[in-house]
Structure formats: C-alpha cells, structure tokens
Copies of this chain bind each other. A is one copy, B any other.
Amino acid sequence: MKQKKLQEYKNGENATLFLLLTKIEKKTAKNGNEFLNLELRDISSTISAKMWNGFESFYPDAKENMIVKVDCKFDEYNGTPQLIINRIRAAKEADKVTYEDFLPRSQRNFEEMKEEWEKTVESINNSFLKLLLQKLFDEETKEKYFNVPAGKAWHHSYLHGLLEHTLEIVKICETVCKIRSELNRDLLITAAIMHDFGKTEELNYKTNFDYTDKGKLIGHIVIAAMRINEKTNEIPDFPESLKDRLIHLVLSHQGKLEHASPVIPKMPEAVVLYHADELSAKSNAYLNVITKEKQNGGNWTSFVRLAETSLYIPPEDETDTPKETFFD
C-alpha cells in the first residue's frame, strides 16, 4: 500500500486514506447532538479525529484495531492537527491493505538481516547446538521470530525488531569472543539467538503490539527454556550439561533476580550475554527517544521511566577546531 504520510499533509487539505482505527467513542455535545471521537494511525504517526454526521451505519460494527478507509479534511485544534471525517467504512479484502501497512518496522533491510541470521546459525561449529537451532526454527517459527518486535515500547519495538536486536547482540558477542578467546563462542552465540525467543509467544504483533496472557503468566524467559527443553529431548544424546548451560544462559540473561531472571549469571558467557543485551537494548532505546523528541526543541527529552532520567539532546552546531595554534 502506498499513500502519503499523515505528517506530510497541511491544514485544509482533503484526502482519502486507509488508516488503522485505534480508539472510538460516541459522545454527546452540549447541544445534545452525538458525534464520534476517534484516534487513527498510519505507519508514521497517530492523529485525533472528529466525525459529526453520517456514522450511523458504521458505528455499530466499529471495533478498535480495524482498518478503515476515510474521506477527510485536515484541520487543527489548539495547534494540534486533527481530522474532520466526512465518510468512513471498514476496509475490504479487495482494498489489499494489511495491518503491516500500519505498524512500524525496522529500518534495516529485511532480506539482509535474514541472510545475516542464517549465516550466524551456519557458523555454529558445535553440531548439537547447530542441530538444535535447525530443529527449533521450522518455517512457521522463523516467520514469527523474523517479524515479532523485541518489545512493546522500549527498544526495537517495531516489526523485525527481535531479529535486528539479536543480530546486534551477536555482533557484540563476537567482538568480546575475539578479546577473550576462552569464551565458548558457540554456546554464547546460540544463547544470543535464543535469549528472547520466547517473545514469539509473549507478544502479539499482528494488529498492535501487546502482551499475550501466556506472556504475562509465564514470561518469555521461561517460555524459551521450555522450548529448548522440548527440542533437546528430541535429539538423541544431547549432552545434559550442554543443555543445562544453554538454558542457564537464557534464564540468566536479564542479569538480576529483580529483573525477572530466575537465576543470576554463573558463567562468563552468561554475564557477557547480559551486558551485550543491555548494550543493544539501551543504545536503541535512548537514541529512539532522542530522535522522537528532538524536533520539539529544548535540550532535554521528557522523563524516560526506564532510564530513570530525561536525556540530554546536545547542540548540533559545535565548532570543532580549537583556536590555538598547537598544531602548527
């Protein structure tokens, strides 16, 4: 689906757009007339909307998370853009729009990432670990794993986010393995691939990003442990100690009990995985916040709960050359 982004329209323009309906409520105005208050999104942003008339046939079947087609005019309310909707209907199959048209996705090239991931699996030398990965990643599982975001909101929270995040951790782990050759590289890389595998079951990402009941009751960490356990059971003679260590790395990858890891890192590989995960996650998250809030002006973002601070947005026009003549 190709259409101009919401952000690119100006006040007063008319448009016909496919949008994702994320909120809808009927309200009564002071004059007693009913109207609709809506929230809609395209892939880039979210916008409020009002519909004053003609929603009688649409409203009864309207649901959050449905895709709609609207005739509308761009307006402004107290300095914020809003839409005035003239006509609205649910999208049809023939419209050929899908939820993916409305969900943010990784900015890295998807094919390139898949290829990088396949090469990583290929590079595992330990036959048991490589076999385990091959068994775990059947086509259906790969499909989910390659598409799911790494989280709902904090870091890599977009389609293919888990894939992008995993590849970053792999790169950092490879760097550390070069520095410390004593590390069991195959074990570490396999654990890096598997560490957030449980997110394929912990998160819904088809129409919106949200936690599943299973995700809230069990959590992605134990889900991954159960899947590794199931598959190693199918591999004859899979070494018990190797299995325990791999599960240990997955279980301990959040580093501390209070971060919901049921065991803390008890191996060098485990502590490496923990901090490599932090590096990938936090650098992504912090930069995302700054990118999003940069245009608001000001030197500081709003308070970021998971960083426990607001973040500094440095001035851009910094002179780079000292005045003194030391270099002459």
Name A's B-contacting residues (CB within 8 A): 25-28, 30, 77-79, 125-128, 131, 134, 168, 171-172, 175-176, 178-180, 182-184, 213-214, 216-219, 221-222, 225-226, 229-230, 233, 235-242, 244-245, 247-248, 251, 257-268, 271-272, 275-276, 278-280, 282-284, 286-287, 290-291, 299-300, 307-312, 314-315, 318-324, 326-327
A230 partner, pick from B30, B233, B311, beta carbons under 8 A: B233
- A260-B258 in contact (CB<8A): no
- Across the interface, name the chain B residue whose C-beta is closest to A29: B30
| CB proximity of A126 to chain B, nearest CB, Å | 5
- A322-B216 in contact (CB<8A): no
**Top 4 closest A-B pairs, CB basis?**
A217-B248, A268-B286, A262-B262, A226-B229
- Across the interface, name the chain B residue whose C-beta is closest to A212: B244
Cβ–Cβ < 8 Å partners of A131 in chain B: 322, 324, 326-327
- Across the interface, name the chain B residue whose C-beta is closest to A301: B266
Known contacts A244-B217, A279-B276; is-contact A171 B182 (Cβ 8 Å): no
- Complex Cα–Cα for A262 and B127 (A): 31
- Across the interface, name the chain B residue whose C-beta is closest to A77: B28
Known contacts A27-B78, A222-B225, A315-B241; is-contact A271 B283 (Cβ 8 Å): yes
- B78-A28 in contact (CB<8A): yes
- A260-B263 in contact (CB<8A): yes
Known contacts A26-B79, A320-B128; is-contact A179 B171 (Cβ 8 Å): yes
- Complex Cα–Cα for A236 and B321 (A): 10
- A235-B324 in contact (CB<8A): yes
- Complex Cα–Cα for A272 and B168 (A): 13
- A266-B217 in contact (CB<8A): yes
- Complex Cα–Cα for A299 and B217 (A): 12
- A222-B244 in contact (CB<8A): no
Cβ–Cβ < 8 Å partners of A168 in chain B: 179
Known contacts A259-B257, A287-B268; is-contact A244 B322 (Cβ 8 Å): no
- A247-B217 in contact (CB<8A): yes
- A311-B171 in contact (CB<8A): no
- B217-A245 in contact (CB<8A): yes
- Complex Cα–Cα for A233 and B134 (A): 21
- B284-A180 in contact (CB<8A): yes
- B242-A318 in contact (CB<8A): yes
- Complex Cα–Cα for A258 and B199 (A): 22
Would you mind naming 28 contact pairs between A and B with Cβ atoms under 8 Å apart? Answer: A25-B78, A26-B79, A28-B77, A28-B78, A127-B327, A128-B321, A131-B326, A172-B172, A183-B283, A217-B245, A217-B247, A217-B266, A218-B225, A218-B251, A218-B263, A219-B251, A219-B263, A222-B247, A222-B263, A236-B324, A237-B323, A239-B318, A265-B309, A266-B310, A266-B312, A267-B311, A268-B282, A275-B279
Cβ–Cβ < 8 Å partners of A300 in chain B: 213, 216
- B217-A319 in contact (CB<8A): no
Cβ–Cβ < 8 Å partners of A248 in chain B: 217-218, 312
A179 partner, pick from B26, B258, B283, B324, beta carbons under 8 A: B283
